[in-house]
Chains A and B, each alone.
Chain A
Amino acid sequence: MSDITPGLWELLLKGLWVTFQLTVYSAALGAAVALVIGLARTHRLWIVRFLSGTYFEIFRGTSALVFMFLVFFALPIAFGWQLVPMWAAVLAMGLTYGAYGSEIVRGAVAAVAPAQREAGIALSFTPAQSMRKVVLPQAWPEMIPPLNNLLIELLKGTALVSVLGVGDISFGAQLVRNATGQSAPVYTVILVMYFVLAFVLTRGMRVLERQAKAGIGQAPPKRRKLSLRQTKDLATSGGTGGAA
């Protein structure tokens, strides 16, 4: 570890900042995609359900890394415009993880009791009003724990962009490795950095969950100590996340 000079540390910290930005921007785009596609998959028109379902199925079968290569190489040639690598990465990640997230949104919305929708109809809300005022506020707290898992998968997924030359921590680590000729220290350091980031994100999501649950009058859930994640959906649905 002593071989990592202050200059190289700076490189890693810059990379950390890029990774953080990538995560936040991709998560924002992903959330928008997840909401739109997830709600579209519960739409009353079959064509809307079909198109959004197709989008989901395609990304479910797509390898994130291969898709990222396509965005980087094919997009400029096919459409003649070249994105800044950072934004190309955000686009690829947002579309991919948004597709996984749509399944979470769809599931949580479908799990809201039908009586609640009927109540919305009884109050003569429009479908959009009913969704916004009745269904989503109840579905939201249910979404947060699986979305937390997905967010960590996304954070881990950001490492892929280093392969395409975006200067995130993993990319920084390769530079440091080349400079010092040693691999063990720098890779240990950045693995710990990722873990700490995942830990911080989880804490943030728990605060969010507590607030969301309190907002509809529920107590916060108890959890396994030590674990960063809720394991229920891991076991039953098997990886909505990173790769699945």
Chain B
Amino acid sequence: MSADSTPTNPNASTSKETANPAVDGSELIRFDKVTKRFGSNTVLDELDFKVDSGKHVTLIGPSGSGKTTILRLLMTLMKPDEGTIKVGDAYLTHEDRGGKLVPAGDKHIREVRKNIGMVFQQFNLFPNMKVLRNITEAPVHVLGLSKDEAEERARELLDLVGLGDRGDAYPTQLSGGQQQRVAIARALAMRPQVLLLDEVTSALDPELVAGVLDVLRDLAHSTDITMLCVTHEMNFARDISDQVLMFDSGRIIESGSPEKMFGDPDHERTREFLSAVL
């Protein structure tokens, strides 16, 4: 019913999702035989995978299986060793010059990266800036918004995440959950097409998790932003996802609708993993 993926593991090929008739599903992200190694350790192994516009895709799987690496590659925080990544019509790390693919220049990367936003496990707010400026900094200096426009946008977003009155606080004066909500607002202020969520609740005290997830749930249900989400919160994954991808050892071993994946997965590894975390 949603984003399609092509598992490379032959064992899992039976679980391949059939087509996607739904919504405005033009292809937005495409990984083509992407390989990423750290030393002798192959984290992603000729990964093929795509996400359609407007879809909410959750990546699950044991730690070290390469989920976060996918997000970091998309955010250009690291480069693939082999393969290509496309966002919309443009290659992320390559430029198409007269039919030939060459490594992308800085300008090209910036241009493509504009479409992508990311929320980090550790929030990574700028501690030297007040909350409001954390949110306005990039719209002013990257998008060229005036200070007033940017602040107006920032205040709307702070209202959205339920922190309308904390614009003048410094990040360290906020709880972890509040900081993470600011980080979400900061990412949204750039109006990205794709929002990458990297274990956004893993660093939070248990009682603060719900507030952050509520914000994201609202976002998922009320906007058409594309989400790519790595999480260990299975209930949350079930609520917001159009599609769930199960990762193991650098490959997608199974994918499907949340109902299917959480209800009756095909693959033994998926079943093992879910029974361990649920």
Chains A, B in direct contact (C-beta < 8 Å): no
User: Which residues of A line the B interface, CB within 8 A?
Assistant: none
User: Which residues of B line the A interface, CB within 8 A?
Assistant: none
